[in-house]
Structure 1
Amino acid sequence: MMKEWIPIPGTNKDRLITVALEEFSKKGFEGVNITELAEKAQMTTGAVYHHFGSKAKLYEVIRTEIEQRILDRMEGAASLFDNPNEAIKASMITGMDFVTKNEFSRLISEPNPTNKTDRIERFLSDLNNNNDLPLELVLIASWRSILKGISKEEITSKQGKELINWLFKKES
């Protein structure tokens, strides 16, 4: 079954999604102005509301799609390891690489204003083998903080990887 919001390439809806992805990735949810977004897509604000109903719903479409792309890669990386900690570490690094390569750091590092369930956090939770501690809460916060640092150019992608590796370093 196909998702109803997937646009046909070249349509107004497709153009809006393309421009919205670029804008939300650069400016975050709060920084995007619907009037400016519509102008960049060479449409009216009415077209945005016609296709998506609201800025939040447009953001939700973008965020859901990008999170799925990230999860696909994280799941693939995690599947290569039997050890849960190695699986989590590999998935976090793989996800970070994809996010930074595609310049989605700001988009993914910000809290989701639509209050949807965080699917990346749920994925990490499912990998966590320590039932006594919800490690995914610390891991997802650390991962998003690293992405935020990268988006603000406070750290490099290489430093981000080093930080993720540090999180999993075991003291002897």
Structure 2
Amino acid sequence: MHEWIPVSTSPKGRLALAAVTEFGLRPFDEVTVAELSAAAGVTTGALYHHFGSKLGLYAFVREDVEQRLLDRMEGALAAGQPDRSAAVTSALLVGLDFAVRESFLRILGDPPAGTDHDRLADMLGRTTAPVLGQVLAAAWRAALTAVAEGAEPEEARAAIAALMVQTPLSG
């Protein structure tokens, strides 16, 4: 087992599981250290001991959740769509479905807290163009936020599909 994967019954593991749930459902700023600690059944001191801060805990779980998202999206990009535009749209839809299914709407729908590095925009920018990657990441996150605020997932899927992404770079 890798060191960074917490055992779910350990205090660190329970904090990580609580954070995935809480940050998945609510924006970073609305989740408190006390709520995270209570949900994990630990003291606030345990949170600070294991993660240094609420932001440290958020970064820990965000990295894991985001890597799972990117793995799925990169798989969709590599799945042999007839053209890159179709592949990008497919990847965005696969990512949307994953975030909805796993209740990761807020943790993935909000831009990364505490950093300017946006791994989703970077991945999309490598596939299309850097600025287009930023625009697509923002649109994708807006679709997740809409679902988090009550829109039907099918409406968000239709909005993503309607983007009709044009990839300016060749193969």
TM-score in terms of structure 2 length: 0.90
Judge conservation of contact 1:87–1:127 (CA < 8 Å) in 2: no
Is 1:145 the counterpart of 2:142? The answer is: yes
**Aligned residue runs from structure 1 range 21-170, under 5 A:** 21-80=20-79, 81=81, 83-128=83-128, 131=129, 134-153=131-150, 155-168=151-164
Judge conservation of contact 2:8–2:17 (CA < 8 Å) in 1: no
Comparing 38-47 with 81-90, greater Cα deviation is found at 81-90
For the residue of structure 2 that corresponds to 1:36, the secondary structure is: helix
Number of equivalenced pairs: 165
For each residue in 1:126-168, what CA deviation from the matched residue of structure 2 results, as whole angstroms up to 9, or x when unmatched?
Answer: 111xx5x721122111111111000001x21111111111101
For the residue of structure 1 that corresponds to 2:5, the secondary structure is: coil
**Aligned-partner Cα distance in 1 for 2:56–2:39:** 19
Identity across matched positions, percent: 36
**Aligned-partner Cα distance in 1 for 2:14–2:116:** 25
For each residue in 1:78-119, what CA deviation from the matched residue of structure 2 results, as whole angstroms up to 9, or x when unmatched?
Answer: 111252211110100000000011111111111222215111
User: Gaps spanning 5+ residues in structure 2: where?
Assistant: 167-171
RMSD: 1.8
In structure 2, the CA distance between the partners of 1:18 and 1:10, relative to structure 1 (3 Å rule), is same
Judge conservation of contact 1:108–1:144 (CA < 8 Å) in 2: yes
In structure 2, the CA distance between the partners of 1:18 and 1:169, relative to structure 1 (3 Å rule), is closer
